[in-house]
Each structure stands twice: as C-alpha cells, then as structure tokens.
Amino acid sequence: MDKTIVALATPAGNSGVAVIRVSGENSKKCLQKLIREDLDFEPRKMYLKKIYFSGLEDVCLVVFFPSPHSYTGEDVIEVQSHGGYFIAKKIIDELLSLGCFPASAGEFSKRAFINGKLSLDQAEGIMDLINAESDMQAKNGSFLMQGELKKIIEEYQNRLTEILAEIEAKLDYPEYEYTENETTDILKKLKEIDTNLSMLIVDSKTGIKIKNGVRVALIGAPNVGKSSLLNALTKTNKAIVTSIAGTTRDVIEGEYEFSGIIFRLFDTAGIHESQDEVEKIGIERAKQILNEADIVLKISDDSNICNISTEQPYINVINKSDIIDEKKIKDQFASDYILVSAKNNENIDALKQLIFDKTILKKIDSNKLYLTNARHISAVKQAKTYINNAISQFNNTSMDIISSEIKSAWLSLGEVTGDTNNETIIDKIFSKFCLGK
C-alpha cells in the first residue's frame, strides 16, 4: 500500500495563500481530523472550514478529490490556508503527526504518472510549467502538458511506419522486387520527414531561448557606462534586477522580459591581455561567456572604441549619446551602430527591440510548440541522423540496412514520448521534479 504523502504545493516563503496537498488513502481521514468533523465531502467542492493544528486554528478552504479524479489519481485533499511559511509548516506538521509522510521530490507527479494520469512528455511539460518565468515559457510548458508534442512525434512515427511497411513487405516476399517508382517514392518520403525534423530542430533554438532566456553578453572598457546601461536595461523590472547566480560558472548581472522573452545579461568585464595567472582564469571565463552568448553588445563611447572581435552576432552600442562626438563614431562604424544614453534612458527600448530582432530571428508563433527540452531535442536530432544515413546511402546499400536506419529513427522518436522504454530516462525525469507538484 502506498503511503499518504503531504507537501506544500505553493512556493515556500511569504504569499497570500498557501496550498497544502495530501495524496493517498488516508487523505480524507486526515482532513476529517483537521476539521474535527466526520463530513462526507462532495467531490471537488470547496468548503470553508475551521481547521485545528498544533494547538492553533485557521479558517481555510478545503477540497476533497476522490480517486481517480484527482491530480495523482489517488484520493487527494487540498488545504488553502492563509499565506506565510509558519502557518503552512504547522499544518504540515499536524498532518505528519496524523501519519502522513513528507513527499519526496516529484512524488505527486510520479504517482500521477503511475496512475496513468500523465504521459512522460506531459510530466516534463509540468516541470517546465512550474519553472516558467515568462509567458512564452508557460505556454510552451502547457502545450507539452496537453500532449501536443506527443501528437507531433506520433505523426512522424506513423509516417516512418508506413515507409517501413512498404520496405519490409518486399524483404519478406522475395518474389517481389522494388520498382523504380517505389524506391523514388520511399526516398521522397524520407526527405520530407528529414525536412520536417530539421525545422523542429531549427525552431528548437528559438525554443531554448524561450525556455532559458536569451544570453546577452556586455563587453567594453570599464568607463563606457556598462553598468549604467545594465541598469537602464533592467530597471523596467526592478524585481529581477538582483544578481542571480546562474550556472556555477557565470553570474547573471540582471535580466529583463521583452515581448514575452527573458533576456539574461552577462558582464564580461576584464577581457584584455594579462600575465597574471588568476586574471588569466578570469579572462578565459569571460571568453567563454562571449562564445556562449546569443548576442554580444559591444559598448563604446567616442574615446573608448570596443574592437574586440567575436564569432557571435553583435551590436555596436554607443553610449553617452548626450555628450559624444557622433562624427568620430561614424568614421569608425559607418552606420552599423545604435546610439543610446543609459543615463537619460534614451533609445533603450529601441535597443531592446534590436536585441530581440537579432536574436529571435523567426517570428514566434504563440500557438506553436517549440522543442525546449534537451532530452527531446537530442532524441529528434538522433532520429534525423538515422534518416540522413538512410538517405545518403539509399543508392549504395541494401534495403535491409535502409530499413534498420529507419527503425532506429523510429525508436529515437519514441524516446521523446516514452514510447521507447528506457529506464534511465524515467529515472532522470523524476529526479528533476520539484517538491509538491
């Protein structure tokens, strides 16, 4: 018998309302004990009840979701208490003393999955949705959750199955040979699928930007006004101007949302020649940031021209538009620059638009699903490789080999939706779920 589990379903910290979720056989009994009443709850109906916990009491909204019509597929109760960590914690303590167990990371979703409430890609969608910071992120996550990805992948799998059926029939019936029409038709169909997968992969670059944000690197001499530009770009959204540790390697100096996309700013102060060992490490790191950036802002003023070369797309940003000699700039950059004043907040929105245009190359279709999950992208890429093998060798090798490549492509696509069984994938996915969901 599965244990009854409990966790806070809303983020820890201060909030207006806290939601505590309990799932498992004893859920209903626990709720009855909390409200000290043997109420026979109507399914999915909200009740306003006084609950008693750890010597305290609070008026809460409570709901009972009987199995199987609940998130996990088990009996579930939810208690909406007044916000604040303290109250929520005390309610959870009470539930623990009533015999509930604290949920481990991802356990609610794991149970939902086991009880057939979620498919693998849906589960991943939920994960993306929870972690979403922008509108587009949320939308994409909810597409996944609604099983949109599964539909797309299954369509490609069906098309591959059709091709395979054609090939296999002839392999098993030696008296039938392939006609030229048949082979060109197979090749044509393979090429169509290849094109489709390519588009998925190309679009995934946008998808990753939607999910992880666009990486913007700032470069230029210390006194050209880099930090004031940083502030100008981020000040529209004070709440996230704080320095946020990104990966262990680099530090995000700030971020802002523009047209539904998150832009993350990375400072690369300190790119210059140096003999100092410690500084050298810093420089290497800065170079890395430059290489991984989706776009580089080369910041200059009329006396400090930034001419560091980079492989990435870049924008020449000329700060201090209020005081500089524009002729000097024209000589240097012709018309390939944008003039801003960080101090006076001039042209900052235009700069944001320019950054957006240069990084989000294709129009974002908010009704479209983008591949954003590294696992999905790598599986689709793998499938494409197999199809490319089949295409490139089509005329040089035998049909048994072509068939084997197509089968591999089919299996790779199956890894996206969990149609191909792979233990490690399942393990990985559920270890990533956050608590409470």
Partner 1 sequence: MEFVDEYDAIVIGSGHAGSEACLALARLNKKTLLTTLNLDSIAFLACNPSIGGTAKGQLAGEVDALGGEMGVNADKSMLQLRILNSGKGPAVQSLRAQVDKVTYHNEMKHTIERQKNLDVLQCEVAEILVENSKVVGIRTSMNEYFSCKAVVVCTGVYLNSKIIIGDFTKFTGPNGYEPSTMLTKSLIDLGIEIRRFKTGTPARVDAKSIDYSKFEIQPGDDLNISFSPISKKVKNKKVCYLGYTSPAMHDCIRENILHAPLYSGKINGIGPRYCPSIEDKIMRFSDKERHQLFLEPESENSDEVYVQGISSSMPTDVQRKMYSLIPGFENVKIMRFAYAIEYDCINATELKNNLESKKISGLFFSGQVNGTSGYEEAAAQGIMAGINAQRYIDNLSPFVLGRDQAYIGVLIDDLVTKDIIEPYRMMTSRAEYRLILRQDNCDIRLTEIGRKIGLVDDKRYRILKKKLKQIAQVNQSLNVSYGPKKLEQLFVEKNESLPKSGLTLRECVKRNNITIFDIATHFKMFSDIPKNVLEYVNTEIKYEGYIKKELEYIEKNRHIENLSLPDIDYSKINGLRIEARQKLNKFKPSTLGQAKRIDGVSPSDINVLLVYLKLKGIIK
Type of residue found at 6? V
Residues 6+ apart with CB under 8 A from 75: 23, 24, 25, 27, 28, 64, 65, 66, 67
- Least distance in angstroms from the C-beta of 144 to partner 1: 16
Measured from the CB atom, the residue of 5 and 219 that comes closer to partner 1 is 5
Q: Which string of x and - marks every residue 414-433 that binds partner 1 (by CB under 8 A)?
A: x---xxxx-x--xx--x---
Q: Which is nearer to partner 1, 133 or 419 (CB)?
A: 419
DSSP assignment of 389-432, as one string? HHHHTTTTS-HHHHHHHHHHHHHHHHHHHT-S--HHHHHHHHHS
CB of 183 to partner 1, least distance (A): 12
Instruction: Find the shortest distance in angstroms from Cβ 179 to partner 1.
Output: 13
Which positions from 102 through 121 interact with partner 1, judged by CB under 8 A?
Answer: 110, 113-117, 119-120
Q: Can you tell me which of 11, 13, 43, 68 binds partner 1, judged by CB under 8 A?
A: 68
Which stretches of 225-327 are assigned E, i.e. beta strand? 244-245, 251-258, 261-267, 295-300, 314-318
Find out whether 252 and 266 touch, Cβ atoms under 8 Å. yes
Q: Provide, rounded to whole angstroms, the least separation between the CB of residue 180 and partner 1.
A: 14
In terms of CB distance, is 225 or 418 closer to partner 1? Answer: 418
Name residues contacting partner 1, limited to 378-397 (CB under 8 A).
396-397
- The answer to the question of residue 73 lying near partner 1 (CB under 8 A) is yes
Query: β-strands 244-245, 314-318: how paired?
Result: unpaired
Q: What is the CA radius of gyration of the chain?
A: 28
**Of 274, 310, 280, nearest in space to 292 by CA:** 310
Q: Which long-range contacts (CB under 8 A, 24 or more apart) does 185-188 make?
A: 186/394, 186/402, 187/391, 187/394
- Of the chain, the end-to-end C-alpha distance in Å amounts to 21
Part of the chain binding partner 1 (CB under 8 A), chosen from 173-181, 183-191, 295-303, 352-360? 173-181
Question: Is residue 180 near partner 1 by the rule CB under 8 A?
Answer: no
The stretch among 22-30, 81-89, 127-135, 170-178 that binds partner 1 (CB under 8 A) is: 170-178
38 touches partner 1 by CB under 8 A: no
**DSSP state for residue 299 in the 8-state scheme:** E
Q: Which of 175, 273, 276, 331 binds partner 1 (CB under 8 A)?
A: 175
Out of 170, 328, 343, 375, the residue judged to bind partner 1 by CB under 8 A: 170
CB of 169 to partner 1, least distance (A): 9
CB of 362 to partner 1, least distance (A): 33
Least distance (Å) between residue 400 CB and partner 1: 3
Dist. CA 348–CA 353, nearest whole Å = 9
**Nearest-CA neighbor of 128 among 292, 374, 356, 420?**
374
d(CA 271, CA 219): 8
Contact residues toward partner 1 (CB under 8 A) are 2, 68, 73, 110, 113-117, 119-120, 168, 170-177, 396-401, 404, 408, 414, 418-421, 423, 426-427, 430
